[in-house]
Chain A
Amino acid sequence: MRRHRSAALLVQTRLPVVLALTVFTIVLALPFAMAVLWSLVDPSHPWAYPAVLPPVLSFRRWIEIWTTSALPQALANSYLLAATVSVSTLLLALPTAYAFGRLQFPGKATAQMLTLIPLAMPGFVGAIFFSALLVRFGVYSRFAGIALGHTVIFLPYAIRLLSLSFAMVRQDLIDAARDLGASPLTVFRTATLPVLKPGLLAALIIVFILSIEEFAISYIVGAPDFTTVPTILYSYLGYNFIRPNAAAISLILVVPNVLLMLIAERLLKSADPATITGKG
Chain B
Amino acid sequence: MLKTIAMLALATALPLAGLPAPAAAKDLSQMNWEEIVAEAKQEGQINWFHWYFQDRFREQVKAFEAQYGIKVTIPDGDGKANMDKMLAERGRTEGDIDVISLGGSALQTFKAEDLLYGPLKPLLPDGAKLRFSIEGTDNKGYAPAFWGNQTAIAYNPARISEKELPHTLEDFAAFFRTNPGEMGFNTENGGSGPAFIEAVTRALVKDIDYANGAATPEKVAKLAPAWDWFKANHDGYIITASNADSVTRINSGEFKLIAGWEDQIAGLQRKGEISRDIKMYIPSFGMPGGGNVIAIPANAKHKAAALVLIHWLTSANTQTELAKTFGIAPQHPDADSSVGLIAAGDRKFSTVWAAKPFGDDIKKAFVNQVTLH
Contact = CB atoms under 8 A, between A and B. Distances in A.
Contact of B248 (A44, A227, A241): A241
Contacts of A49: 156, 158-159, 251-254, 275
Interface of B: 1-2, 5, 8-9, 47, 49, 51-52, 54-56, 58-59, 74-78, 81-82, 84-85, 88-89, 92, 96, 156, 158-159, 189-190, 241-245, 248, 251-254, 268, 271-277
A239 B274 CA distance: 16
Contact of B56 (A68, A128, A226, A235): A68
Contact of B253 (A50, A64, A227, A235): A50
Contacts of B245: 241
Given A48-B275, A49-B158, A239 B81 contact: no
A46 B78 contact: no
Contacts of B55: 64-65, 68-69
Nearest to B159: A49
Contacts of B271: 43-44
8 contacts: A46-B274, A48-B274, A223-B81, A224-B78, A225-B49, A225-B75, A225-B76, A238-B242
A65 to B, nearest CB: 8
Contacts of B268: 242
Contacts, number: 113
B81 A227 contact: no
Contacts of B273: 43, 46, 242, 244
Contacts of B54: 69-70, 240
- Interface residues on chain A, size class: 35 or more
Interface string A116-152: 0000000000001001100110001000000000000
A239 B1 contact: no
A224 B49 contact: yes
A243 B243 CA distance: 13
Nearest to B2: A223
B10 to A, nearest CB: 12
Interface of A: 42-46, 48-50, 64-65, 68-70, 74, 128, 131-132, 135-136, 140, 220, 223-227, 231-232, 235, 238-244
A65 B56 CA distance: 10
B1 A241 contact: no
A232 B248 contact: no
A225 B189 contact: no
Nearest to A136: B8
A135 B242 contact: no
B237 to A, nearest CB: 19
Contacts of A243: 248
B54 to A, nearest CB: 7
A128 B1 contact: yes
A136 B12 CA distance: 11
A232 B245 CA distance: 16
B75 A227 contact: yes
A220 B76 contact: no
A239 B244 contact: yes
A240 B52 contact: yes
A225 B92 contact: no
Given A46-B272, A48-B275, A68 B58 contact: yes
A241 B244 contact: yes
Contact of B241 (A44, A140, A241): A241
A220 B274 contact: no
